[in-house]
Amino acid sequence: MSIDRRAVDHVARLARLDLSEDERAVMLSELQQILGHAEKIQALDLDDVEPMSHSVPMVNQVRPDEVKPSLTQADALANAPEVEDHRFKVPRIMEDEG
Amino acid sequence: MTDTQTDIYTTTVGLEIHVELATASKMFCGCRVAFGGDPNTRTCPVCLGMPGSLPVPNEKAIEFTMKIGLALGCTIAEHSLFHRKNYFYPDMPKNYQISQYDSPLCYGGAVEVVGDWGTHPVGITRVHLEEDTGKSIHIGGGGRIADSDYSLEDFNRAGTPLVEIVSEPDIRSADEARAFVTELRATIEALGVSDVRMEEGSMRVDANVSVRRKGEKEYGAKVEVKNMNSIRSVIRALEHEEERQRKALDAGEILIQETRHFDEKSGVTSSMRTKEYAFDYRYFPEPDMVPFEPSAGWVDSIKDSLPESPTTRRERFAREYGLGVKDVGVLTSSLKAAQWFEAAAGAYEGDAKKVVNWIIADLFGLLNEAGLELWESKISPVQLAALVTLIDSGKISGKQAKLVLQGMFESGDDPEKVIAEKGLEQVSDEGAIEAVVDDVIAENAEAAGKVRSGNLGTIGFLVGQVMKKSKGKANPQMVNELLRRKLS
């Protein structure tokens, strides 16, 4: 699979990245390299290898259902650029391509 | 819906139901789970999505999800994963939701729904676990997102464990959808893992509805309907949407795949988006969480701990109390209703069917008028049983009992007290009734003569006169017997 400029634009938009023309060129070549690397792996005969999602041999990491103290309202809102009625104030929500 | 339309079109509905779990703490952090409260008072670096925070799954939430899955006849996956679902929306501070994708905790179950159409199985595709979002308030533009000036975010709810249940498109009508949601709600309620309150949003229903001409193999365009906040609105929204699609097809229109919003007030669905979007959530395994592989022993112990399922309860009610499908359906629609009935039936010594009749034929009428559920009534199960016992003993007539029930419903008093207060006691003293009967015979010589000469049809008139004279208190059965004896 190769990646073209349109795919770069699409991925950038999905990630809400505003890339300059130069950055897009850099991304294109870097993504091509990464995909090239993946292609090498895909070329191997891996029929007997189980797909792996995590590289650590560990399962079932859970915590007991216990309530721990939360942040105070003031601390929770401390980093908010804007606050109204003790809520995070955000700009108008635009319905856009997910 | 006309019969002709049912002949021409087939409706296909699949439901997606979200249920908030009633754990003490959130899905991936120790913040308390509760409804409402002061905004942003139950948050921490994890549920606010701050960099460097480490979410850890709540064991109880996983157990609750497996309970739901097992109760719905699902298989518990030997290996399951959390995934990141990437999209941008301000009610989700991480810009991704931790959810499950191709390896859900539970899959492949079925629920049996019961209605006038008989019993019908509805497949359960999957039951998975994810986190809830925060709550947005849109300011300006009448509160609608598209017209608002800005929005305010409260993250108290963000990170609440949320179970998603996806059904197969096996539902064929609004009524089957109602039956399915009712069944699901009763099942989950019985498990004690969620409040399942649709009005408070702890249970939310979305529907995929498509209509096609009979005989066509391909499904019609899939329309997603959102914002149904009660079982009643599920019925209304689906009936409306079914009708809308049929009419469109009648008119030769082409339906498009879209999401529609149900408006409670107008009872109408309207399109939420005009543009078609191909959502690209770029799911990938959540690197912060290792796979989940429950031991067979754990799954078995959960299986053993499951309470009586609504299906089993229905079978037991039919067997133990000799009730028909319809009565059983009404009484098992929720665990609380079933428990109320069983308490009343337990306190009553005669045939439980009599108690059922009083609940369904009379008490439900009063409850509906007052907008109450069975278990919210001022009348206790024991008081209802006492009322039916009083009828059996002849102390009051069935007709009087209706008045007594009304009084009990209003005051919550014992039936004896209501009877005394309203002076409703039935007179079963033979001497007292005989005196009235004699008076009536004397006053209505003509009618009495007719009965004597064999015209028994006239006896009803005389019974009525005695009842009238006794202000409805005379035991009607005794009046009848006395009249027959005296006029034979």
* Shortest CA gap B134–chain A (Å): 11
Q: Do A14 and B38 touch (CB under 8 A)?
A: no
| B404 and B459 co-located in one domain | no
What is the rounded distance in angstroms from the CA atom of residue B41 to the CA atom of residue B33? 11
Cα pseudo-dihedral B480, B481, B485, B486, rounded to 10? -40
- Beta bridge partners, B260, equal B225, B271
Tens-digit pLDDT profile for residues B310-349: 788 888 999 988 888 888 888 887 778 899 999 999 999 9
Q: Could you please report the per-residue DSSP string of B448-482?
A: HHHHHTT-GGGHHHHHHHHHHHTTT-B-HHHHHHH
Q: Taking CB atoms and an 8 Å cutoff, what residues of chain A touch B51?
A: none
Look-up: residue for tokens 């078609």?
A: B276
Query: Which candidate in A52, A88, A89, A90 is best for mutational testing of the B interface (most B CBs within 10 A)?
Result: A88
| pLDDT of the residue at B122 | 96
Which residues in chain A have Cβ-Cβ distances shorter than 8 Å to B39?
Answer: 73, 85-87
pLDDT (0 to 100) of residue B143 = 76
For testing the chain A interface, which of B23, B96, B152, B293 should be mutated: the one with the most A CBs within 10 Å? B152
Better-scored residue on pLDDT, B41 or B5: B41
Kindly state whether residues B456 and B399 are assigned to the same domain.
no
Q: What is the tally of structural domains in chain B?
A: 3
**Interatomic CA distance for residues B342 and B355, integer angstroms:** 10
Residue type (1 letter), B153: E
More confident position, B290 or B3: B290
| pLDDT, greater one: B136 or B457 | B136
pLDDT of residue B1: 47
Domain regions of chain A by residue span: 1-44
The domain boundary, picked from B250, B266, B301, lies at B301
Among B378-382, B425-429, B483-487, the range of highest mean pLDDT = B378-382
Tell me which architecture the domain covering A1-44 has in CATH.
Orthogonal Bundle (1.10)
The answer to whether B171 touches B14, Cβ cutoff 8 Å, is yes
- The letter for the amino acid at B423 is G
- Residue whose C-alpha is closest to residue B170's, from B125, B213, B223: B125
CB within 8 A of A32, min separation 6: which ones?
A2, A3
pLDDT at B479: 86
- Contact residues, chain A, for B53 at CB < 8 Å: none
Which has more confidence, B88 or B42? B42
pLDDT given for residue B274 in this prediction = 47
pLDDT digits (tens, 9 = 90+) for B420-457: 888 777 777 788 888 888 999 989 888 888 888 888 78
Looking at the fold, whether B364 and B464 belong to one and the same domain comes out as no
- Inter-chain touch B148–A68, beta carbons under 8 Å: no
Q: Searching chain B, which residue's CA lies closest to the CA of residue A88?
A: B153
Which of these three, B258, B286, B301, is where a domain ends?
B301
pLDDT surpassing 70 at residue B116? yes
Identify which of B382, B384, B487 has the alpha carbon closest to the alpha carbon of residue B441: B487
Contact: A70, B42; criterion CB under 8 Å: yes
What residues does B85 pair with on adjacent strands?
B97
Q: Residue B29 pLDDT > 50, yes or no?
A: yes
Q: Are B106 and B77 in contact (CB under 8 A)?
A: yes
B408 and B436 share one domain: no
Identify whether residues B271 and B360 lie together within a single domain: no
Of B422, B447, B478, the residue at which a domain comes to its end is B422
pLDDT band with cut points at 50, 70 and 90 for residue B393: confident
Cβ separation B90–A60 shorter than 8 A: no
Q: CB distance A54–B291 less than 8 Å?
A: yes
Residue B103 vs residue B432, higher pLDDT: B103
Residues B13 and B95 in one domain: yes
Q: B275 pLDDT exceeds 50? A: no
- Percentage of chain A lying above the pLDDT 90 cut: 71
Whether residues B253 and B328 share a domain: the answer is: no
Task: Chain B: give the shortest CA distance to residue A52, in Å.
Answer: 10
A71 to each of B46, B56, B132, B156, how far by Cα in Å?
11, 18, 19, 11
Across the range B80-96, mean pLDDT stands at 93
Which chain A residues touch B59 with a CB distance below 8 Å? 62-65
Range of the domain at B474: 430-486
Same domain, B130 and B201: yes
Q: What's the CATH code of the domain at B448?
A: 1.10.10.410
What confidence score (pLDDT) does residue B284 get?
95
Has residue B134 got a pLDDT over 60?
A: yes
Q: Same domain, yes or no, for B86 and B235?
A: yes
Query: In this predicted complex, what is the ipTM?
Result: 0.89
Q: How far apart are CA A50 and CA B395, in angstroms?
A: 78
Residues B174 and B253 in one domain: yes
B296 and B335: one domain?
Answer: no
Option in A16, A66, A91 nearest B25 (CB): A66
- Per-residue pLDDT band at B6 (split at 50, 70, 90): low
Average pLDDT, integer, range B208-230: 90
- Identify which of B370, B374, B371, B302 has the alpha carbon closest to the alpha carbon of residue B332: B374
Pairing of strands B223-228, B203-213: antiparallel
Residue B278 has a pLDDT of 53
Q: How far is B106 from chain A (nearest CA, A)?
A: 16
Same domain, B260 and B333: no
- For residue A91, which residues of chain B lie inside 8 Å, CB to CB? 150-151
